[in-house]
Chains A and B, each alone.
Chain A
């Protein structure tokens, strides 16, 4: 006897795979038509009324599109109407947040790309004045100086930062509170104060501005970022893994070194990236520690050294057309350097075995 809980009627057509939860093609095309009409309408408003410029267009578009979306949703039930309304709000907020970022990005690229010529990446400013044509001189000395200082800062900070993260999450010794307190207050230190600190100590003591001094100032700023990120990342390691390691007869330091740290390798790489991102554009502390230089310096203790932020800052102060162009190109190169660093770091650290 067949069971009573299975319906007897059989489907006589072979089923086709469908996605009923997705918007249909029809509703999608209606959406894009509504979008286009809104664009045209807002353009008309900008032309016919007092609203002007891109701000006016944005405002008009927001109002028109909102009205259209709500109008469309009237044939739906109340829940969907709310959904449409909030959807437009959220999308507008996203555009609003996206806009300044895109604007900065676009300005730097548009204004910087003119000066981005091969000589910019290989020459320095030793025999070029800022006013010279853009096909003379370059920022190679500044790129090298920045890389040198950030590398030294990272070499000092990454081990220290990761170790303090390990202390806070793994060892949890008696000084945990103190360490966490110091790290948190350090992250609130204004960058100029970090520069001043190195100025009154290292620069005074060695009696010279230098790349090392700059690197130390950057390290002061980088340490709290790395330490806090490392702590957050290490907290994510499940205790199961630590237990498993201890149950295999491992001591604490080997557990940390061989089980906990490798598990969050990519997270620690993120900590490093955030640390570098924190300091690579810093200008104020460098003005007090590494100063600037127009020629190549490879020795971190060999006196004042150029860097991309001070390069940009110096040229902007001169204020002539070509010097400002150079400054924009310097900013663009700084952005590209950061992009390259991050991509490399992600590539190295992101190869997580999962």
Chain B
């Protein structure tokens, strides 16, 4: 399989519109602090892309740039383009809220809304974004099923999100993201606060999700990246801004990387 994740440089002149999400020459700053340098990556439909690398190399910043969550941080700035189906999500006429609807996000810490019960949590995106949906019950069931939580909570949909275990809460957050039918789901270390059992459930969920949408997952867990992702991108920051070292099909990146630093990292020699 030829890689469709493109690494740095090249291919600027390509005319054809790419379906899915594509980052082109992305830079990011916090104030004057340059944190991310010239990252270009493609996230084709129906693939899982893992972003790996040591802490502080800009992975989280990068995915927050993909759904315009970066701009909530005071002092944040960026350069480059993020194309969704060929359209730049940072062009002035684009509505950021509409982008976030299409590119959902799951956070490191499970964060169900405490003032809502399980069912309301799943439907919250629909209400928050003012979407018109005919059958709420069907949405609740299908989203919870896809997130692998339906069997566990179907008899207590009116319980609060807080009454669930950490892993269940995270799957509830995934279900909540799915309810607004995003075409891409960004996951920022979704399993770092969870036990191995819950992690496994979420990985199964990811594998089911990818039959319909693209998933981008940041992880510090190399085995997890190897297990769930089709493509992998390795980020690094040696004192300066983070940058993309290498991106390739996961199998190749883990077995036969072109960069020695990648090889060292995936073999656990540093990081």
**Are A246 and B72 within 8 A (Cβ)?**
yes
B105 at the interface (CB under 8 A from A): yes
For A9, what are the chain B residues with a Cβ–Cβ distance below 8 Å?
none
Interface residues of A in 126-158 (CB under 8 A from B): none
- Chain B CB within 10 A, most for which of A238, A249, A254, A255: A249
A241 at the interface (CB under 8 A from B): yes
> Which of A52-60, A180-188, A259-267, A307-315 is the contact stretch?
A259-267
**Are A248 and B180 within 8 A (Cβ)?**
yes
Interface residues of B in 120-150 (CB under 8 A from A): 124-125, 127-130
Q: How far is the CA of A245 from the CA of B69 in the complex (A)?
A: 11
For B114, what are the chain A residues with a Cβ–Cβ distance below 8 Å?
241, 263, 353-354
- Chain B CB within 10 A, most for which of A247, A353, A354: A247
B127 shortest CB reach to chain A, Å: 6
B217 shortest CB reach to chain A, Å: 15
Closest-by-CB residue of A relative to B100 is A249
A327 shortest CB reach to chain B, Å: 45
**Are B173 and A244 within 8 A (Cβ)?**
yes
- Chain B CB within 10 A, most for which of A241, A246, A262: A246
For B125, what are the chain A residues with a Cβ–Cβ distance below 8 Å?
248-250
**Are B177 and A248 within 8 A (Cβ)?**
yes
Q: Scoring B residues 68 to 93 as 1 if CB is less than 8 Å from chain A, else 0, what string do you get? A: 01001000000000000000000000
Q: Scoring A residues 241 to 284 as 1 if CB is less than 8 Å from chain B, else 0, what string do you get? A: 10111111111001100110011010000000000000000000
Which listed residue (A243, A258, A353) contacts B117, Cβ 8 A?
A353
For A249, what are the chain B residues with a Cβ–Cβ distance below 8 Å?
97-102, 125, 128-129, 180
Closest-by-CB residue of B relative to A259 is B113
For B117, what are the chain A residues with a Cβ–Cβ distance below 8 Å?
353
Q: Scoring A residues 180 to 200 as 1 if CB is less than 8 Å from chain B, else 0, what string do you get? A: 000000000000000000000
Which listed residue (B67, B72, B129) contacts A250, Cβ 8 A?
B129
Also in contact, A255 and B128, with CB within 8 A (given A246-B72, A247-B69, A354-B160)? yes
A16 at the interface (CB under 8 A from B): no
Number of inter-chain CB pairs below 8 Å? 83
For B176, what are the chain A residues with a Cβ–Cβ distance below 8 Å?
244, 248
Q: How far is the CA of A20 from the CA of B75 in the complex (A)?
A: 55
How many residues in A have their beta carbons less than 8 Å from beta carbons of B?
Answer: 22
Also in contact, A243 and B111, with CB within 8 A (given A250-B128, A258-B128)? yes
A240 at the interface (CB under 8 A from B): yes
Which listed residue (A250, A255, A353) contacts B115, Cβ 8 A?
A353
Also in contact, A243 and B107, with CB within 8 A (given A248-B100, A353-B115)? yes
B34 at the interface (CB under 8 A from A): no
B8 at the interface (CB under 8 A from A): no
B257 at the interface (CB under 8 A from A): no
Q: How far is the CA of A246 from the CA of B103 in the complex (A)?
A: 11
Q: How far is the CA of A248 from the CA of B113 in the complex (A)?
A: 12
B104 at the interface (CB under 8 A from A): yes
**Are B69 and A246 within 8 A (Cβ)?**
yes
B189 shortest CB reach to chain A, Å: 13
B109 at the interface (CB under 8 A from A): yes
**Are B124 and A248 within 8 A (Cβ)?**
yes
For A238, what are the chain B residues with a Cβ–Cβ distance below 8 Å?
111
Q: How far is the CA of A261 from the CA of B91 in the complex (A)?
A: 32
Q: How far is the CA of A255 from the CA of B130 in the complex (A)?
A: 12
Also in contact, A243 and B180, with CB within 8 A (given A255-B128, A353-B117)? no
Q: How far is the CA of A238 from the CA of B114 in the complex (A)?
A: 11
For A354, what are the chain B residues with a Cβ–Cβ distance below 8 Å?
114, 160, 162
Q: How far is the CA of A251 from the CA of B116 in the complex (A)?
A: 18
Interface residues of A in 212-260 (CB under 8 A from B): 238, 240-241, 243-251, 254-255, 258-259
**Are A246 and B115 within 8 A (Cβ)?**
no
Q: Scoring A residues 7 to 40 as 1 if CB is less than 8 Å from chain B, else 0, what string do you get? A: 0000000000000000000000000000000000
A residues lining the B interface (CB < 8 Å): 238, 240-241, 243-251, 254-255, 258-259, 262-263, 265, 352-354
7 A/B residue pairs, CB under 8 Å, sorted by A: A240-B111, A243-B69, A249-B98, A249-B100, A254-B129, A353-B115, A354-B114
